[in-house]
Chains A and B, each alone.
Chain A
Amino acid sequence: MKKFLLTASAAALALAASAGYAAARDQIQIVGSSTVFPFTTAVAEKLGQSGKIKTPVVESTGTGGGMKLFCQGVGENTADFTNASRAIKDSELKTCKANGVTPVEIKVGFDGIVLANSKAGTVVDLTKEQVFKALAKNVAVDGKVVPNPYKNWSDVDASLPATKIEVLGPPPTSGTRDAFVELVMDAACQEEVKAANEKGCGEIREDGAFVEAGENDNLIVQKLEANPNAFGVFGFSFLDQNADKLQGHKVDGVEPTFENIASGDYGVSRSLFVYAKKEHVGVIPGMQEFIAEYTSDAAWGPDGYLADKGLIPLPDAERAKSAENAKALKGMGS
């Protein structure tokens, strides 16, 4: 027994020590947004299959968390790429710069945010104003700002069905929520609400009409299936993959389809980005190969495998320009 204990402790020590001598990293590390995660992982896997480099490791940390890890500094212990479901913020760019990191921005495509419900429910044609009225914490009634009084969709607008307002959506930590607030709530904000409280536009009601359903969009899909009267807010790829169960609603008269989002007609869409760390190119093997694979037409083109995964490609000209910038490693702010 004594011997066993001794050997076991020795083994533990040896293990702990060996970690300190980790060899130079030969594998790309990627962090960032959970929205871009399904696309970046697909590219990583394709690249790994080709056998040219080891398959990159992709973590889903959220856009903000990814930026923090990415801008931490230069060196083996920091991430090489970060995914983002919004453009880098000025404050983040400043941190990056201060730590000697030059990000290279690659705009990879669009993502639509859809309002959908079960096929068993009714299809409605919504405007952003109606969505704002249904979901904002405070709304203006007769010129006065009051806590949202609307219970049914028909209270918001007579043309809508007389069903209870019940919307399942992402929690405030999610990038999808940020984009939804920016593209719908802020865009359709009532003057009175804005005047009363600068941040009042982005506040979503907390009286049970809007249910925070967690980061897992599959859960929202399942809950919508079970409750035909409930609406859900999530990324287009989940609507695309669950077209047999769900139907998307028109927003401002435009249906959320692949074509409408790609052409920019559908109003609730955002750009997705990947940021590369310029300093790591040539140090960590495979950086350029990864950028080349991501920006190849076989990946992000209209017929590429990322489109099959639900990424909405950029228009041809913009795609060409983005690819050119990425391959030339045009750093930001330099």
Chain B
Amino acid sequence: MTDAISSFGAVGRPASIHTDDAAKARLKGRYRTEKWFKWLGAAAVALAGLFLVLLLSTIVTQAIPALRQNYVTLPIDLSAAKVDPAKLDEVNYDAIAQEALTAKFPDVTSRQDKRLLRGLISTGTGVFLRKDIAADPGMLGGTVDYAVPLDDFADLYLKGLLADVGSDEAISTSVTPSGTSGDIDLTFGDDAMLALARGHGATEGENGMFTLTSGASSLLVAFNGGTVKLTSLSPAANGTVIAKGTVIEALDSTAPAASGQAFLRVIETPEASRKISDKVIVWLDTLKSAGLIESRFNSIFFFTGASREPELAGVWGAVVGSFLTMIVTLAIAFPIGVSAAIYLEEFAPKNRLTTMIEVNINNLAAVPSIVFGLLGLAVFLNFFGMPRSAPVVGGMVLALMTLPIIIIASRASLRAVPPSIREAALGIGASKVQTVFHHVLPLAMPGIMTGTILGMAHALGETAPLLMIGMVAFIVDIPGGFTDPATILPVQIFMWADFPEAGFQQKTSAAILILLVFLVIMNAIAVILRRRFERRW
């Protein structure tokens, strides 16, 4: 006995397969795998988060400039001589506004310059004026100060998106002009300007002369109440520099400006590579320094319909169109979807036919959305002869697309209601219909609502099915009913992204932001419903 024990003790505990070296290595390996997986998961989440932040910050920074619009306040002459109160519709309001603008710049005389100047204000000015006068006839009879929206290029320049403009710097030498308008010579007291011109891309010619072509930065000298654009500079006697320049805004006098009295303004982006000329920049700066330009909240963007002019384009038409379409979708998809789910889940016999239907509904949820558009074109437009581009047709097509999603979600939440509820209701004598509608459906409702809202959010972001039925269209008028032509937000975004004008880039981002806000709100409602009303059994 003792032998046995001692012999057993001598052998010691047999090396277990759980503790030997190989096992330890295996264990370590398993821990390592787990650690790796955790790390990979965390890295994936971090990467996704990074991209999300990148995407959102790009959209938001692009969208911010679109939220404000610059206006110029002009004295508009609405006296009886210009505007006949009896014939308000026949007045050319654009011309009146343009006259008020050209009156601010009496020096501008050439036809081409006048055209350029008139282009500073939006082409929609006349429309705004007519509307405001119709609303408030008290404006008539005299001159009123009226804020006019600026054209998209002027607006983008003032937002700093079109050209790199340096700040005004005082010139630390005297400047003597040879005239007040046209092409003149400027004499600078020292040669600091030469180095400056070289630094800004001027081409060096013979005798140390520098020419500023349209490929170089623009150098503007402002003094004596005017502005001169330098075209070339050459060294002269006594270390002075003689510069040739074109007067953009007439000087008051030929009196020399003392050191520190003249200002140099450098526009880094060469004139050839921007859509806005030096003249326009000078005019805008003059208006701005006169305190006539004001940046306002961009109500045009939020409360008007589409337009081909970036400064007049708004999302309201698309928002209303989306709203009308969604109402139709909800009114069709929700009752039909929920009823179908109730029938299939509670009443339908379980046989081969219902199984087939079930499989097909599940498959339908995975059908590409453009197919529903083709169906809409073939059935609603061609067969029933419904109007093109109408929200009612769009809503019906989207309802077809959302139906399977609602049915699947509703069935899942009906199934989640425990049988005890049904049995109790039936036990106290309720009929099958009473059981379902009084007891089961109310308990399943939060889940159904969540599914419906998510389905609707999905439909809100859809464009493909609407392409076929004519809702991808340029529509200016805000739709007033279900059969008026309308477009929707995602389509508006798609179209703006495709327009060549630079001003639409910011509008696109701002519209994306609005769509995102709607989607976040809808998803938040779904989450809240789930949290508040969902019951766990």
Contacts and interface: CB of A to CB of B under 8 A. Distances in A.
B331 A11 contact: yes
Contacts of A11: 331
B335 A48 contact: no
Contact of A216 (B269, B332, B482, B497): B497
A60 B331 contact: no
Interface in A119-157: 119
Contacts, number: 134
Interface residues of B, number: 56
Interface stretch (A38-46, A101-109, A223-231): A38-46
Interface stretch (A18-26, A88-96, A177-185, A282-290): A18-26
A23 B124 CA distance: 31
Contact of A244 (B269, B445, B474): B269
Contact of A241 (B336, B386, B390, B501): B501
A77 B384 CA distance: 11
A242 B273 CA distance: 9
Contact of A55 (B475, B500, B502): B475
Nearest to B473: A59
A53 to B, nearest CB: 11
A22 B497 contact: no
B437 interface: yes
Interface in A66-101: 77
Nearest to A222: B505
Contacts of B476: 44-45, 48, 55
B75 interface: no
A3 to B, nearest CB: 10
A245 B307 CA distance: 25
Contacts of A29: 388-389, 470, 485
Interface in B361-392: 381, 384-390, 392
A237 B334 CA distance: 46
A279 B397 CA distance: 31
A59 B483 CA distance: 17
A25 B389 CA distance: 12
B273 A119 contact: yes
Given A5-B338, A49-B127, A12 B308 contact: no
B306 to A, nearest CB: 8
A260 interface: no
Nearest to B339: A5
A310 B470 contact: no
Contact of B393 (A19, A44, A49, A303): A19
Contacts of B320: none
Interface string B394-406: 0110000000000
B168 interface: no
Most A C-beta atoms less than 10 A away, residue of B115, B162, B335, B386: B335
A159 interface: no
A38 B308 contact: yes
A9 to B, nearest CB: 4
A16 interface: yes
Contact of A217 (B89, B273, B395, B498): B498
A29 B381 CA distance: 15
B339 A41 contact: no
A218 interface: yes
Given A15-B332, A244-B274, 14 more contacts: A1-B441, A9-B339, A20-B384, A29-B389, A55-B475, A57-B389, A58-B473, A58-B474, A60-B472, A60-B473, A77-B381, A215-B498, A245-B273, A305-B123
7 tightest CB-CB pairs across the interface, nearest first? Answer: A55-B476, A241-B500, A59-B473, A58-B474, A41-B474, A12-B331, A9-B335
Interface of A: 1-2, 5, 8-9, 11-12, 15-16, 18-20, 22-23, 25, 27, 29, 34, 37-38, 41-42, 44-45, 48-49, 51, 54-55, 57-60, 77, 119, 215-218, 237-238, 240-245, 303, 305, 309-310
19 contacts: A1-B437, A5-B339, A11-B331, A19-B386, A19-B482, A22-B390, A22-B483, A25-B387, A41-B308, A45-B308, A48-B476, A49-B126, A59-B473, A60-B472, A215-B498, A238-B500, A241-B500, A242-B502, A310-B500
